[in-house]
Structure 1
Amino acid sequence: MTETTSGNLDMPTCQEVALRLSDHLDRALPLRRSLGVQAHLALCPNCRRYAAQLRETLGLARAAGQAAPADEAGEAAALAMFDRLAKKGA
């Protein structure tokens, strides 16, 4: 998400949302970034699907008593999912 000269924020890209989604779901993002992620999710069906899959995966991991994946693994999974969704839309 980038700041414009007027001080308004641009909508985050799918890749930015994928990288921040876990923190968003954990309520670990600053309010302004979290609102950007929410706005993007409202408009992007691919990212909504990814968010639903991530929620389910994290819920299953927590139910099994496992910690969430390491940040690097989570980022790699997010980027792989983004690439697959981008190719589907192309």
Structure 2
Amino acid sequence: MPKKIPMRQCLGCREMKPKRELIRVVRSPEGEVSLDFKGKKPGRGAYICPDAQCLARAKKARALERAFSAQMPEEVYAALADQMREGGDE
């Protein structure tokens, strides 16, 4: 019997994709928002494609605000874009 592949929806393009193909955006219990390339950080998670266009769409649709039920300052989006460009060096 083949293993079930967990699927998640991207906040930007709204497509269902395998969890491993997406980047997890996590809001820690302290309220800090960051990218989680390994999927292990504690906190509330939302998923986004590793594509700057999907991040821009999520920003325009205010998808992160809805996912985390909190206001997202502009600096958060800039930091997420920088982390996405750098890739998963964590």
Report if TM-score (shorter chain) is over 0.5.
no
Give the TM-score, by structure 2 length. Answer: 0.29
In terms of fraction of residues, the more helix-rich structure is 1
With normalisation by structure 1, the TM-score equals 0.29
User: Which structure dedicates a bigger proportion of its chain to strand?
Assistant: 2
